[in-house]
Amino acid sequence: MATLTYVYADSTAVLGPLATLAEPHSYDLCAAHAGRLTAPRGWEVVRLAPEFVDEGPSPDDLLALADAVREAGRPRQAAPVYQQVAEAGRRGHLRVIHGDLD
């Protein structure tokens, strides 16, 4: 994996290690696309590493994915139900209601 950043003032495309923060004018590339990147005519490509290798997901990535799946699978609590709802007032499209919660 690699991050491509354009430096428009210098007509340069910089290809470096995968960035940890999102930046304007930067794009993450897989190893295959990073390896065969070309720049427009008149531009220079600066490669900060000779070779970019896809390392696959880290143990932290896999744990974060497992936690997200676990969270999505949990049953959701039902919203409270109003037993006796009475309209207390109305103002335009808004209204105030009073009611007892279970």
Question: pLDDT confidence of 57, banded at 50, 70, 90?
Answer: confident
Q: What is the pLDDT of residues 10-37, one digit of tens each?
A: 999 999 888 888 887 789 988 888 888 8
At residue 12, the pLDDT reads 92
Assess contact for 66 and 57: CB atoms under 8 A.
Answer: no
> Which H or E element spans position 64?
helix 59-73
Supply the pTM of this predicted model. 0.50
Q: What is the pLDDT of residues 63-102, one digit of tens each?
A: 888 888 888 888 877 666 555 555 555 666 666 666 655 5
Q: Where are the domains of the chain?
A: 2-70
